[in-house]
Amino acid sequence: MQKTLTITPSRCTSCRTCELACSFKHAGKGGLGIARIRTFMFGEGKNQILTCFQCDEAACVKVCPVEALSRNESTGAIEVNEARCIGCGLCSIACPFGHMNHDGTNGIAVKCDLCGGDEPACAAFCPSRALEYR
Amino acid sequence: MRIKSAKSLESVTKKVRGEREKIETEVLVCAGTGCLANGSLGVTEALDRAIHANGLDVKLSLGLKTTGCHGFCEQGPLVVIQPKGIFYRGVKPKDVDDIVEKTLKNGEIVERLLYRDPNTKKRVEQYVEIPFYSKQQRIALRNIGKIDPSNIDDYFAVGGYAGLAKALTKMTPEEVIDAVTKSGLRGRGGGGFPTGRKWKTCASAPADTRYVLCNADEGDPGAFMDRSICEGDPHAVIEGMVIGAWAVGAHEGYIYVREEYPLAVKHLQRAIEQARERGLLGDDILGSGFSYDIHIARGGGAFVCGESSALMKSVAGEIGEPRAKYVHSVIRGLHDKPTVLNNVETWADVSWIIAEGAEKYAALGTEKSTGTKVFSLVGKVKNTGLVEVPMGITLREIIFGIGGGIIGNRPFKAVQTGGPSGGCLPESKLDLTVDFDSLTEAGSMMGSGGMIVMDDHTCMVDTARYFLKFLVDESCGKCVPCREGVHQLHQMLEAICRGDGRPGDIEKIESLSDVIVEASLCALGKSAPNPVLSTLRYFRAEYETHINEKKCAAGVCRNLFTFRISEEKCTGCGLCLKACPVDCITGEKKQVHTIDEEKCTRCGACRNVCNFDAVEVI
Amino acid sequence: MTTEKTISLEINGRFFQAREGMTILDVAKREGIPIPTLCYHEALESVGNCRLCMVEITHPDWKGWKGLVTSCLYPVEEGLQVTTDNKTIWNTRRTILDLLLARCPDSDVIQKLAAEYGVTVTSYRKNDVETKCILCGLCVRVCAAKGANAISSAGRGIEKMIARPFDQPPPDCIGCASCAHICPTGAIEYEDTPEVRKIWGHSFKMVKCESCGRPIMPEKQLEFEAEKSGLDPAYFKTCSVCSQRKSIDTIRSAFDMKAVGLGEPVEVAR
């Protein structure tokens, strides 16, 4: 059975540990801006976490001219083949949820890949179990 | 009318031959590009008029026809009268009345139109006695000059398509490939790859579609053998291709002809249509059930499109650039399908080999280079034109035997073989046998058969510069070593010829050449440094004098010499004075002339006209 | 599962396994063996223009023959022995970069790469024409991959250039600027203003984000992308920042939702 990254907003404290963990895991450094996951505070007790939905009918995959985006069948995540990406930015415009990002230095697409099958760092480090991988 | 079987082809041939036998006298006018340019069309028309006016066509059973190139282009327009084999050269329309009156009516010879041997100074009456022809052995050129290329019946009369009939009815595709393998035929386009092996690989490559193509994109400066074959005997090429298609299982093919060969295109096109009409191309060839058709693809004039992979891209409508051939085109060629590509001469040889037998072909030439090869012999040689000789003949025999030696009996300096990216061989290599391997070993190559003879008035550095300029212009520009490297090589040679050469230039040229040879993508790039490498190998001292002493002993590089008139040799004839375009020569009649070096542009006009070799290079 | 043949080959004395059809460069990249390239891009067809990726190959069956091949094109073979760096290779790459530096003396990318091979000033005659283009052809290939096929190479030899058809603004150009983004030397220029993008002689009107008004892409590209992907043009009318903001707004207004399961269909109103 494929595991799912599950978000339970009521447990989220907006501590932003998930963002830090994500940055360290993917970029090797701490920087909240480069995380592929974001947390938002809407008010007391109203926190939300936002990351890629790994859509079935993903617009990003459809628009990519060079097939740099494809689904990893074992994790279900849509992954970026960084070597293939030409940095045209089309995927980030096409994503209706704003979940695609681009590396500021080379324009290569950046998105959540569910950490390639390991327990996603965001879930592993979430202190309040708002993020779970199960 | 369609010929529906090998048997009915036989009877067609028989019938045509019967008709031909009734002709007692036949006048053959060369209508190859060279002779046409010299006005042979006017000669044909005048002959036609005169023959009809005299009623000769009825009385003498006379035939008049235009043929392909006889090969002896510099003597054109040529008229040959058969069966006596009388050979008239330099014929003008005004000579026609004499030909009709004297030769056709009364069997006399028109003395002034005969060929004069430049060495013996004697007039030669017959075709076969002219050394230029008598020393040749013609296979690829076998029918050229004898048949009317626009008439398929003429081709039948000389046994045309018998090879195809034999292949389709008596041989399996494997047997055809075996025969070609046994003949030892190697590709005549330059690479010299064994044709049989090429076909075998293609035939055994798994595929639903295969192609058989003909490379008629002859681009080497001074080479025109393929053009002559296409113009003069197009059916020999088509027959060869159909045989090849049968052997490898192809049903479609292209002849890639350069746009600059309009007559070849016209003749090929007409021959294809005729062959289709007669059931020798298209569906169910000769009733065998086998189908193959040929289209003509016209090249836009890029030298590189003679390279196989660039050619295939061009045929497919893409930019004519070569690709890396780590997977050969016999496996992945046109439209990524297994493809056999051979050049015009190879295909003309194939039809002969199948008709006459592989053993007969293999018996000619040398062990590893069998058969014959057509060369276009040009440059400072007395008899220029197309010559077909058995492989293994020496350069000396070609240049001094067939070619008659150097114009003005000047000293021989070098012969450039193999086209622009071939190499220059010096006098010490004159006794080298001409075959694929020995030419390569000597630093040149066979190429498609260009042979440019140079005398002592040729500067080898300038020659290398000239060929490099050609290659700079013709490099497709795809890969860096060829595009940038050959350009830089050329720049360095320009500088040396200008007098701006510096010590160390030779070494720099050599090291850059090594990289170009090693790193270029296609054969054009890999062989591009050949002109400079081969001249460096045999004429290094000339480079050194150019660089260190700023001297060009051959009197070609204008900044590096001056002309002076020798006091001992000058007779004061005044020829040079008249020839000088800048009026820098002075001198009274019968007095030694002098050149004003300040005014002299070193054009060499005085040297060219001087009969006493009095204009010296200093 | 996979029925492709596995091939073993040797690179720099170490043995590797590869799938049939891979190139030497594919294997080297996978194994982290450095080979310099200029005209290579994994998403595009390899062409072997720049010759920087040349490596030396030989084989026990080749009777001592060895030679240079472009690793981006040479398919792996059983028993192949590859050397990715030696004196000959180094010298070849150095000469190529020296030649490229003569062509593009002002390109910082070429300067940097050439310096790695000890060339700071070209030893050849410098190009008379100012250019940064090394004719790697990536722009032409990416344009073809996009499906626009607007530009191509024109001419031959040293005068070859990347050009527009008949030197006019290319009718097929959609203004995506992928050519400019992929160019390794920054030779293709374009200019963006809030209203228009100027490239290849065109002046394309920009589509602006429906929410914030930031320019997104040329109108012509939007039409092209919508048709090509089969997506509603609306997908291309919001910038990614505003898309994210909309997501947040949607969530805020429906905050009582339980959890968002990832990997499962999610209904989120646009």
Tracing tokens 């985006």 back to the chain, one arrives at: A69
Mean pLDDT of chain C: 90
Question: Is B152-362 a domain of CATH 3.40.50.11540?
Answer: yes
Residue C261, pLDDT score = 37
pLDDT in tens, C34-89: 999 999 999 999 999 999 999 999 999 999 999 999 999 999 999 999 999 999 99
Question: Cβ contacts (< 8 Å) between C37 and chain A: which residues?
Answer: none
Question: Cβ contacts (< 8 Å) between C103 and chain B: which residues?
Answer: 484
The 8-class DSSP code of residue A120 comes to P
Report how far apart, in Å, the C-alpha atoms of C114 and of each of B512, B515, C51, C117 are: 16, 16, 14, 5
Q: B62 or B487: which carries more pLDDT confidence?
A: B487
CATH architecture of B562-617: 2-Layer Sandwich (3.30)
pLDDT at B458 over 50: yes
pLDDT at B4 over 50: yes
CATH of region B460-549, choose from 3.60.15.10, 3.40.720.10, 1.20.1300.10, 1.20.1440.230: 1.20.1440.230
**Mean pLDDT on B244-248:** 96
CB contact under 8 A, C54 and B519: yes
Question: How many angstroms separate the CA of residue B474 from the nearest CA in chain C?
Answer: 6
Mean pLDDT of chain A: 87
CATH class given for the domain over A54-111: alpha beta
* Residues recorded for chain A: 134
Both tokens assigned to B320: 């004519």
Mean pLDDT of chain B: 93
Q: B502 or B421: which carries more pLDDT confidence?
A: B502
- Chain C touched by B511 (CB under 8 Å): yes
Query: Nearest 10 degrees: CA dihedral of B385, B386, B388, B393?
Result: 40
Question: Cβ contacts (< 8 Å) between C235 and chain A: which residues?
Answer: 59, 63, 93-94, 96
Question: Cβ contacts (< 8 Å) between B302 and chain C: which residues?
Answer: 156
Q: B414 or A7: which carries more pLDDT confidence?
A: B414
Query: Nearest 10 degrees: CA dihedral of B136, B138, B141, B145?
Result: 70
Q: Where is average pLDDT lowest: A106-120, B203-217, B229-243, C150-164? A: A106-120
Both tokens assigned to C137: 């052809």
CB contact under 8 A, B518 and C92: yes
Residue B473, pLDDT score = 93
CA nearest B525: which of B479, B494, B566, B467?
B479
Indicate the fold that domain B372-455 takes in CATH: Ubiquitin-like (UB roll) (3.10.20)
Band (A13; pLDDT cuts 50, 70, 90):
confident
pLDDT in tens, B181-230: 999 999 998 888 999 999 999 999 999 999 999 999 998 888 899 999 99
pLDDT at B521 over 90: yes
Chains in touch with A (≥3 Cβ pairs < 8 A):
C
Question: How many angstroms separate the CA of residue B502 from the nearest CA in chain C?
Answer: 13
How far is the C-alpha of C185 from the C-alpha of C107, rounded, in Å?
6
How far is the C-alpha of B607 from the C-alpha of B408, rounded, in Å?
13
CB contact under 8 A, C229 and A7: no
Question: Cβ contacts (< 8 Å) between B319 and chain C: which residues?
Answer: 152-153
CB contact under 8 A, C43 and A98: no
- Chain B touched by C135 (CB under 8 Å): yes
Band (B24; pLDDT cuts 50, 70, 90):
confident
Hey, which residues 20-49 in chain A have their CB within 8 Å of chain C? 38, 40, 42, 46, 48
Question: Cβ contacts (< 8 Å) between B476 and chain C: which residues?
Answer: 156-157, 160
CB contact under 8 A, A65 and C231: no
CB contact under 8 A, C244 and A50: yes
Query: Nearest 10 degrees: CA dihedral of A20, A25, A30, A35?
Result: -60
Band (B23; pLDDT cuts 50, 70, 90):
confident
The 8-class DSSP code of residue A81 comes to -
CB contact under 8 A, B477 and C95: no
Report how far apart, in Å, the C-alpha atoms of C205 and of each of A88, C147, C178, C239, C261 are: 18, 20, 17, 16, 40
- 3-state secondary structure (DSSP) of residue C101: helix
CATH architecture of B19-129: 3-Layer(aba) Sandwich (3.40)
Nearest CA in chain C to B480: C50
CB contact under 8 A, C262 and A66: no
Give the helix ranges, DSSP H, for B278-343.
308-315
How far is the C-alpha of C226 from the C-alpha of B276, rounded, in Å?
49
* C192 phi/psi in degrees, rounded to 5: -110, 130
CATH 3.30.70.20 in chain A, residue ranges: 1-51+118-134, 54-111
CATH class given for the domain over A1-51+118-134: alpha beta
CATH 3.10.20.600 in chain B, residue ranges: 372-455
pLDDT at A103 over 90: no
Question: Cβ contacts (< 8 Å) between A52 and chain C: which residues?
Answer: 262
B302 vs C69, C134, C156: nearest CB: C156
Nearest CA in chain C to A73: C263
pLDDT in tens, B35-54: 999 999 999 999 999 888 88
Both tokens assigned to B375: 């060369």
CATH 3.30.70.20 in chain B, residue ranges: 562-617
pLDDT at B125 over 90: no
Question: Cβ contacts (< 8 Å) between B304 and chain C: which residues?
Answer: 156
CB contact under 8 A, C263 and A4: yes
CB A58 within 8 A of CB A109: no
CATH 3.40.30.10 in chain B, residue ranges: 19-129
* Whole-angstrom Cα Rg for chain A: 15
C69 vs B326, B480, B491: nearest CB: B326
- 3-state secondary structure (DSSP) of residue B419: coil
Question: Cβ contacts (< 8 Å) between C243 and chain A: which residues?
Answer: 95-98
Omega cis (within 30) before B77: yes
* B510 phi/psi in degrees, rounded to 5: -65, -45
Chains in touch with B (≥3 Cβ pairs < 8 A):
C
Question: Can you give the residue ranges of every domain in chain C?
Answer: 6-85, 138-249
CA nearest B35: which of B3, B1, B13, B67?
B67
Question: Cβ contacts (< 8 Å) between C157 and chain B: which residues?
Answer: 472-477, 483, 487
C43 vs A62, A77, A86: nearest CB: A86
Chains in touch with C (≥3 Cβ pairs < 8 A):
A, B
Q: B361 or C5: which carries more pLDDT confidence?
A: B361
Residue type, C62: W
Give the helix ranges, DSSP H, for B171-321.
173-183, 195-204, 225-232, 234-248, 262-277, 308-315
ipTM: 0.90
The 8-class DSSP code of residue C234 comes to G
Side-chain half-sphere exposure of C32, counting CA atoms within 13 A: 0
CB contact under 8 A, B488 and C99: yes
Angle (CA) C38 C44 C47, round 5°: 60
**Mean pLDDT on B136-151:** 92
pLDDT at A42 over 90: no
Report how far apart, in Å, the C-alpha atoms of B551 and of each of B411, B517, B534, B542 are: 20, 29, 20, 9
Residue B57, pLDDT score = 67
Both tokens assigned to B181: 């393998």
C270 vs A42, A81, A96: nearest CB: A96
Question: Cβ contacts (< 8 Å) between C182 and chain A: which residues?
Answer: 86-87
Question: How many angstroms separate the CA of residue B146 from the nearest CA in chain C?
Answer: 41
**Mean pLDDT on C109-118:** 96
* B408 phi/psi in degrees, rounded to 5: 70, 15
CB contact under 8 A, B515 and C100: no
pLDDT at B60 over 70: no
How far is the C-alpha of C108 from the C-alpha of C125, rounded, in Å?
18
Question: Cβ contacts (< 8 Å) between C262 and chain A: which residues?
Answer: 4-7, 51-54, 114
How far is the C-alpha of B480 from the C-alpha of B486, rounded, in Å?
9
CB contact under 8 A, A96 and C239: no
Chains A/B: 3 or more C-beta pairs closer than 8 A? no
pLDDT at C128 over 90: no
Indicate the fold that domain C6-85 takes in CATH: Ubiquitin-like (UB roll) (3.10.20)
Pairing of strands B293-299, B252-258: parallel
Chains A/C: 3 or more C-beta pairs closer than 8 A? yes
How many B/C residue pairs have CB atoms within 8 Å?
100
How far is the C-alpha of C221 from the C-alpha of C236, rounded, in Å?
10
Tell me which H or E stretch contains A23.
Answer: helix A17-27
CB B7 within 8 A of CB B48: no
* Whole-angstrom Cα Rg for chain B: 26
